[in-house]
Amino acid sequence: MKIAILTSGILPIPAVQGGAVENLIDYYLEYNNQHRLHDITVYSIAPPYSTPKADTECTHYHYVGTTSLFHRLKRAWFVRRAAQKEGYYSPYIEYFLREAMKHIKRQHFDAIILENRPGYALPLSEVTDAKLIVHLHNDFLNSESKQAQAIARACHSVITVSDFIKQRVETVLSPQLKVITVHNGINLPRFYQATPLSRSSLGFTDEDFIVVYSGRINREKGVKELIQAFKRLKDYPHIKLMVIGGSFFGNEQGADPFIQSLQAEAEELSNRIIFTGYVPYEQIPSYLKMADVAAVPSMWDDPFPTTILEAMAAGLPIVATHSGGIKESCGQCAIIVEKSSVIEGLYTSLLNLYNNPSCRTSMIEKGLSISSKQYAKERYAEDFFKAIAL
């Protein structure tokens, strides 16, 4: 098939600036190049500080420029006009879509994959006869979504990252719309084979029991609740917390007011809570390998976080909240706590794991087994292309 991939319009492909969605796109593009399945054109914003990806035999890249003076002026003009109208997304995303559609209209594609942007389906359906397939990573299409019925009629199918998201899409009640779950995958060897970062490089010792949080830092991710739970562990000086990430990809931690409020919250335990700031994705496995337990305290309905898969592959027991697709992703290798009593649940679970090495060992073994059987990026890509063909 001749396929177009329409990305989210925020981060570039290849995933040089990170992003879970962008890494997943890279995985299936790599698989497609290896197996020569389809002729694919990727529509992406241009990478800001690196050379755009060269075309291969099976994959072609069409970049929407955003960094040159010409493109900045052009986008600023569009954004100013778009701000006066009601669009489906932000003016910046609408600009990306408009520029991509100029090229799409001159092509013939059998299918167009809309990465996490169901609203793209409405304007695209007016300019192409291609099958429109939404690859949905978040709860963006349900009975309460804007123009949900019109989007469902415009789409051939929706590929969801979890059964939780699948059930949400099915509330649209569109009998002709096919909804298929394809669980995410990751680069397992990168985590299996990583060398742990030296503990002393961040001020930890071999006697410390390190709890790690990795991901974007905002209110919905539950880092504040994790720190509040940690305060209750004040009588256990060797239990320490490492918070990896910034408010957005590449942001410095001090520039964000919420992160500053977390640092103030943690000040009384400053010798036991380390904020690393943003860490490039390729370094994350070494950071995780240094830790003893991973915490995923999401306070929103996290659809199917790759941080769970990464923690399993890094050989970490997990404490996570009962939200979204989290329980679906980690089976028996995690302690699941309820959001309604999250601080007490985190405190109790972390203390239990600290005091029970045999429990940690059992959870590690289960996590490694589950990840090897279910979460390889090759399995993900194979299932993804099978779902496109349905």
Q: What percent of the chain has pLDDT over 90?
A: 76
Question: In sequence order, what are the residues at sequence separation of 6 or more whose Cβ sits closer than 8 angstroms to the Cβ of residue 4?
Answer: 40, 41, 42, 43, 104, 107, 109, 111, 112, 113, 130
Q: Return the pLDDT at 74.
A: 67
Spacing of C-alpha 163 from chain mean position: 16
Q: What percent of the chain has pLDDT over 70?
A: 92
Pairing mode of beta strands 178-181, 293-296: unpaired
Q: Return the pLDDT at 316.
A: 97
Q: How confident is the model at residue 305 (pLDDT cuts 50, 70, 90)?
A: very high
329 contacts 379 by C-beta, under 8 angstroms: no
Report whether CATH 3.40.50.2000 matches the domain 2-185+376-389. Answer: yes
Give the Cα separation of 95 and 99 in Å (integer).
Answer: 6
Q: How confident is the model at residue 245 (pLDDT cuts 50, 70, 90)?
A: confident
CA angle (181 as vertex; 176, 184 as ends), nearest 5: 150
The residues that bridge with 60 in the sheet, in sequence order, are 41
Please tell me if the domain spanning 2-185+376-389 has the same topology as the one spanning 188-374. yes
CA dihedral 324, 220, 381, 141 (to 10 degrees): 60
Question: In sequence order, what are the residues at sequence separation of 6 or more whose Cβ sits closer than 8 angstroms to the Cβ of residue 73?
Answer: none
pLDDT tens-digit series, residues 104-140 = 999 999 999 999 999 999 999 999 999 999 999 999 9
Predicted TM-score (pTM) of the model is 0.91
Lowest mean pLDDT among 21-35, 72-86, 200-214, 355-369: 72-86
- Looking at 1.10.10.10, 3.90.960.10, 3.40.50.920, 3.40.50.2000, the CATH number of the domain 188-374 comes to 3.40.50.2000
Ranges of each domain in the chain: 2-185+376-389, 188-374
Q: Return the pLDDT at 47.
A: 84
